[in-house]
Amino acid sequence: MKNRQLGPFSVSAIGLGCMNLSHAYGAPVTAEQGESVLLRALDRGVTLFDTAALYGFGANEELVGKVLSKHRRKFTLASKCGMTGVDGKRVIDGRPATLKRTCDEALQRLRTDVIDLYYLHRWDKSVPIEDSVGALSDLVRQGKIQTIGLSEVSASTLRKAHAVHPITALQTEYSLWTRNPEIAVLQACKELGTAFVAFSPVARGYLTGTLRDVATLDPKDIRRGMPRFSPESYAANLRLLDGLGAIARDAGCSMAQVALAWLLHQGEHVIPIPGTTSRSHLDEDLEAADVVLPAEILARLDALMQPRAITAARYNAQSQSEVDTEEF
């Protein structure tokens, strides 16, 4: 597995987003299946594992801690605070006292003394970003976390935060069908020496070409509430996949692999973290690190998947109000 730099850490060029094992896409997998995927990733050379307090309201951190704590020296551990489950409901709370308390709780679930990269999962807009990052910098001084990250924020918010404490990584959605980071934040990360961690790099399954009918989604699948996955919008977006499939065939790889390889070609500071519940899909994703795309293929991908070609927004109004990202 090729490596990329994440602040002081050298990590696998493709990490693993662990959310799918416990959260968001219907019923979570069994503990045995989750363990199988995590250990397969470790065996395949993945050295960046990404979780959060929100995922399964603590269950994902517990799973990662139970399975991987005995291998703690082999990987970089990332988790997130500031958006958690409280009494069965999702709550955004960036107050310093809350962040410090939830860090202690996360350390227990993860069965570790220190979290390598701790993100503010959402900026609580009722709290100045400087205050939330200040609390995280206290955790660095206390030795409970090593570095600080931000999720779903704009370039201007990143710069404000970075002035308080160096921001090691910024995480937001980035893929061929979500190009918003190209407006400003991708370049801001490059200027500041901040790694850009791309979540949902295969567009929540869309770019794999395997999800053809959104009516088959689990009733509790979060995609049912996303505008791009409404039946009408998804039908329109499906029309792009024939072209994507043709490009992938010409590149000699799968659609998921061409999508991940395209991200890796967007800059050495870009690190995708696909998630999966399948060992075979995991293997497919990781093999994308070895895919080299010629300029002609990159140009065809860029022309096909322009923002104006995508039907509907990525978030509904409520979810959009909770993020701070630039939007086309």
For residue range 130-173, list pLDDT tens digits in order. 999 999 999 999 999 999 999 999 999 999 999 999 999 999 99
Asked whether residue 159 is domain-assigned, the answer is yes
pLDDT at 115: 98
pLDDT at 204: 98
Task: List, for residues 60-76, the tens digit of each pLDDT value.
Answer: 999 999 999 999 999 99
Catalytic residue numbers read 55
Asked whether residue 311 is domain-assigned, the answer is no
What tokens appear for 183 in the block? 């407006």
- Domain limits for position 13: 3-203+267-290
- Locate the DSSP E strands across the chain: 3-6, 9-12, 16-17, 48-50, 76-81, 83-86, 89-92, 115-120, 145-151, 167-173, 195-199, 270-272
Asked whether residue 300 is domain-assigned, the answer is no
pLDDT at 241: 97
Tell me how crowded residue 115 is: count the other CB atoms within 10 A of its CB. 24
Task: List, for residues 293-314, the tens digit of each pLDDT value.
Answer: 999 999 999 999 999 999 999 9
In the predicted model, what is the mean pLDDT of residues 179-194? 98
Asked whether residue 303 is domain-assigned, the answer is no
pLDDT at 85: 93
pLDDT at 155: 98
Asked whether residue 154 is domain-assigned, the answer is yes
Asked whether residue 190 is domain-assigned, the answer is yes
| CATH code at position 73 | 3.20.20.100
pLDDT at 149: 98
State the average pLDDT for the chain.
97
In the predicted model, what is the mean pLDDT of residues 90-96? 97
| Three-state SS letters, 255-309 | HHHHHHHHHHCCCCCEEECCCCCCHHHHHHHHHHHHCCCCHHHHHHHHHHCCHHH
Q: What total of structural domains would you count in the chain?
A: 1
